[in-house]
Amino acid sequence: VIFKSSDYASVIIAQEIAGLIKEKQDKQEFCVLGLATGSSPIKVYEELVRMHKEEGLSFANVVTFNLDEYYPMDKNNVQSYHYFMNQHLFDHIDILPENIHIPNGTIPQDNLHQYCIDYELKINSFGGLDFQLLGIGRTGHIGFNEPGSHYNSVTRSISLDHLTRSDAAPAFFGIDNVPKRAITMGIGTIKKANRIVIMAWGHKKAEIVKQTIEGPVSPNIPATYLQHHSNTTFVLDQEASEEL
Ligand code: GLP
């Protein structure tokens, strides 16, 4: 779906998420959301916060699992995805702290493998993700599933691509400060979600958007795996769609 502006597109995505939350509330069920970071979802979160403040949308039945976190990374670090999520969403809504899950970038190396297994099990214990929100990196990554990721991959630690680290460099005041690794949900984890919305805004994403939508499914561009997911919508602004 192509929208004129990312602002309007973000409102439409937020409305879908709010609709799902309310539907689950009516059934007295949890609504399990997979959430993303980066610049792409900021306006979606802004609109959800507005709906909470102005329209009384409650997040009391919402359980969240974030896609990824840098490794190593302290939760209080301004570049951490913990900090990002608090700043843009969690600090402004009525979600219960125990319902928030974000991969922990401070887990000691020796415990990391087991930690990732447990993160995956925790998602499954809620019956999987009802909805997964995604951005896309210029390598074609979703979460931090870089090129080479297997379609059945689960939550694990990975090495970041040079392009991903260079895109993150401004936020870290130089590429040397960008962590070389991250924890990410796998492609298999993401693909089990009932519904997936992936967003891309701006010229910089136009090339990878074309390859993801029109190219063959390939581990070289992990986002192409979504072509095999039956309930995924790719939401674009005009600039991101210009190579299609
Ligand atoms: C990071 C995140 C991804 C995100 C991507 C794109 O690498 N791990 O989840 O989709 O950046 O970021 P942006 O939305 O800022 O373009």
In this structure, what CATH number is given to the domain that contains residue 212?
A: 3.40.50.1360
Paired tokens of 243: 């190579």
Q: How far apart are CA 208 and CA 111, in angstroms?
A: 35
Rounded to whole angstroms, the Cα distance separating 158 from 179 reads 11
Query: Quick one: which atom of ligand 1 is closest to the CA of 182?
Result: 8
- Confidence (pLDDT) at 81: 98
Residue 88 carries which side chain, given as an amino acid letter?
A: H
Tell me what pLDDT residue 239 has. 98
Distance of CA 126 from the midpoint of ligand 1 (Å): 25
Q: Which range of residues forms the domain containing residue 25?
A: 2-241
Q: Output the pTM of the full model.
A: 0.98
The angle formed by the CA atoms of residues 96, 99 and 104, to the nearest 5 degrees, is 120
- Catalytic residue selected from 146, 207, 214, 239: 146
Predicted pLDDT at 191:
98
- pLDDT the model gives residue 218: 97
> How many other C-beta atoms are found inside a 10 Å radius of the C-beta of residue 118?
13
Mutual angle of helices 81-88 and 42-55, in 10-degree steps: 40
* Cα 238 to Cα 93, 119, 136, distances in angstroms: 31, 36, 16
* Residue of 82, 141, 187, 189 to test ligand 1 pocket, by largest number of atoms within 8 Å of CB: 141
**Tell me, what's the pLDDT at 127?**
97
Q: For residue 33, give the nearest of 185, 162, 214 by alpha carbon.
A: 185
Closest C-alpha to ligand 1, atom 6: 137
Number of domains in the chain: 1
Ligand 1 atom nearest to CA at 134: 10
ipTM score assigned to the predicted complex? 0.96
Please name the helix (run of DSSP H) or strand (run of DSSP E) that holds residue 133, with its range, or none: strand 131-134
Is 146 catalytic? The answer is: yes
Pocket test residue of 37, 43, 81 for ligand 1, highest count of atoms within 8 A of CB: 37
Full pLDDT tens readout for the chain, 244 residues: 999 999 999 999 999 999 999 999 999 999 999 999 999 999 999 999 999 999 999 999 999 999 999 999 999 999 999 999 999 999 999 999 999 999 999 999 999 999 999 999 999 999 999 999 999 999 999 999 999 999 999 999 999 999 999 999 999 999 999 999 999 999 999 999 999 999 999 999 999 999 999 999 999 999 999 999 999 999 999 999 999 9
